[in-house]
């Protein structure tokens, strides 16, 4: 039945969804370039695009979802840039993505119309993620804890704290102007919103009875689950979370599984297309 129903997904939806996921490439490039520049390592547009594209492919093809992050770090280290720039820019890029997903989740919790007693276990996880995500705010106030490095028994924390302080200053620079804010958060919101849009158009094509508002709530949680680096390309965790969350929306298990698998394959296909960037240069880490 699942295989038969999968044929209901139209070619137009497939092509539109792949196009949306491919457009995420430029959104990530804009965000990463900003943080790299703030941390002392400006990257030209071509190399940034090439590295993000290759990283997207590696994230989908290898165990865990951080292989692409390692590709970008290695490239920056090959350019003799500091650890703060090499590791920090990639960490801030990932941090901002997660921070934005968390903001979407908080907004979703305010507006979503679901009975809290419908599935206690799932809602416990949702609320736990929402509250735990508040810890993300700690990065912005790192400077308030500078006194820690003055305590002699904690001198060993000086270097890690200086690293965090550098990240904090780069992240906080986002809020110093409207231009900075749009440069970082507009691409981030675009990625989460359009990912939700893909789930919605797939669900509509399969007559699942989901609204866009429903998808804006469940997609951030699915993205958070898939970001945990314990499976290949987020497979398994994404399906488990989406099927559970779609169950809250009264979507039957077969349709929920099909939506999740379709979403995963569309991401995989876009990742493979991005992998074609591997063919554009013979040296993956060529420094220009």
User: DSSP string spanning 94-153?
Assistant: HHHHHHHHHHHHHHHHHH----TTS-HHHHHHHHHHHHHGGGGGGGGGGGGGGGGGGSGG
Which of 97-111, 166-180, 251-265 bottoms out in mean pLDDT, i.e. has the lowest? 97-111
The two structure tokens encoding residue 182: 């749009």
Q: How far apart are CA 135 and CA 95, in angstroms?
A: 12
How many Cα atoms sit within 13 Å of 27 on the Cβ side? 21
> What is the rounded average pLDDT of the residues 1-13?
64
Q: How high is the pLDDT of residue 196?
A: 92
Question: pLDDT tens across 24-50, in order?
Answer: 999 999 999 999 999 988 888 888 888
pTM: 0.84
Question: pLDDT tens across 128-176, in order?
Answer: 666 666 677 778 887 777 777 677 776 777 788 888 888 999 999 999 8
Average pLDDT for the chain: 81
């Amino acid at each position: 039945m699942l295989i038969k129903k999968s044929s209901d997904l139209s070619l137009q939806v497939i092509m539109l969804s792949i196009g949306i996921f491919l457009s995420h490439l430029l959104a990530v490039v804009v965000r990463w370039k900003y943080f790299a520049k703030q941390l002392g390592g400006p990257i030209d547009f071509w190399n940034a695009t090439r590295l993000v594209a290759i990283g997207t492919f590696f994230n989908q093809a290898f165990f865990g979802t951080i292989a692409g992050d390692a590709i970008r770090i290695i490239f920056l280290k090959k350019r003799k840039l500091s650890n703060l720039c090499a590791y920090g820019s990639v960490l801030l890029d990932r941090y901002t993505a997660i921070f934005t997903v968390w903001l979407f989740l908080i907004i979703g919790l305010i507006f979503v119309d679901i009975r809290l007693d419908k599935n206690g276990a799932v809602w416990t996880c949702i609320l736990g993620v929402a509250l735990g995500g508040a810890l993300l705010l700690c990065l912005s106030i790192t400077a308030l804890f500078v006194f820690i490095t003055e305590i002699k028994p904690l001198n060993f924390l000086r270097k890690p704290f200086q690293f965090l302080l550098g990240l904090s200053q780069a992240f906080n620079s986002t809020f110093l102007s409207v231009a900075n804010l749009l440069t970082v958060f507009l691409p981030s919101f675009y990625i989460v919103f359009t990912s939700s849009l893909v789930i919605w158009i797939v669900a509509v094509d399969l007559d699942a009875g989901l609204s866009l508002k429903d998808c804006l709530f469940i997609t951030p949680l699915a993205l958070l689950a898939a970001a945990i680096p314990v499976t290949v390309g987020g497979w398994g965790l994404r399906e488990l979370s989406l099927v559970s969350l779609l169950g809250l929306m009264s979507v039957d298990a077969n349709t929920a599984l099909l939506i999740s698998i379709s979403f995963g394959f569309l991401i995989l296909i876009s990742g493979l297309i991005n992998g074609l960037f591997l063919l554009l240069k013979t040296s993956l880490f060529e420094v220009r």
